Chains A and B, each alone.
Chain A
Amino acid sequence: DGGITQSPKYLFRKEGQNVTLSCEQNLNHDAMYWYRQDPGQGLRLIYYSQIVNDFQKGDIAEGYSVSREKKESFPLTVTSAQKNPTAFYLCASSPSRQALNYGYTFGSGTRLTVV
């Protein structure tokens, strides 16, 4: 079945440590997105990518980095510069950024906790 796989489901990070969240899709979608979700809040866009080797900052990119070396993969690194990284992270994809009639397909999320 086609879909988006996020791993791990739960991740614990020590202070000052970088961690990388994985997002893989087999839907042949061009566009991929990373969102952050905090309790009682909506989704906030971190980064998005429309095409391989290209990505754009979203609304809250500080302290995060991404790469898009393959169409299927869009990993997110949470760096030590992110002061409050504890949150639920969601990856999504769509056929293209222009295909908004399609909506997004979401992964099942990664819950990151700083210990």
Chain B
Amino acid sequence: AQSVTQLDSHVSVSEGTPVLLRCNYSSSYSPSLFWYVQHPNKGLQLLLKYTSAATLVKGINGFEAEFKKSETSFHLTKPSAHMSDAAEYFCVVSRMDSSYKLIFGSGTRLLVRP
């Protein structure tokens, strides 16, 4: 069965320093993987997605993620945090069975200190 685990519920960084949000997945199939961002009282916005093409995926706002099959990981990174990056981030895996669902992680709240 597919599942996704976000390893940190909160991450705090200083503005201008790198961001690392960690995500591990479990899947019997070759999954599709996504990162979404949610600002307070807003809907979720797609940051990037992996769909079995290049293992290093670039997304919006300078974010990128690397699919590592051997480590079953899909960590989200950004070289330099900006105050506007403060939000909640969700790692998502597709469930490629008859239910065709997306499975959402529990979220990581990113705090950016001035």
Let me know if A41 and B106 touch, CB within 8 A. yes
Report yes or no: B44 in contact with A100, Cβ–Cβ below 8 A.
Answer: no
* Majority SS at the chain B contact face: strand
Give how many A residues have a beta carbon under 8 Å from the other chain's beta carbons.
Answer: 22
Question: Interface on chain A toward B: helix, strand, loop, or mixed SS?
Answer: loop
With contact pairs A100-B32, A103-B92 given, residues A42 and B42 touching in the complex (Cβ less than 8 Å) = no
Given A42-B106, A42-B107, A43-B90, are A100 and B42 neighbors across the interface (CB < 8 Å)?
A: no
- Provide the residues of chain B in CB contact with A41, threshold 8 Å: 106-107
Can you report 9 residue pairs joining A to B where beta carbons are below 8 Å apart?
A40-B9, A43-B90, A90-B43, A100-B95, A101-B94, A103-B102, A106-B44, A106-B45, A108-B43
**Additional pairs, 14, CB under 8 Å, beyond known A42-B105, A88-B41:** A40-B107, A41-B107, A42-B90, A45-B101, A97-B100, A100-B32, A100-B96, A103-B46, A103-B49, A104-B44, A104-B102, A107-B43, A108-B42, A111-B41
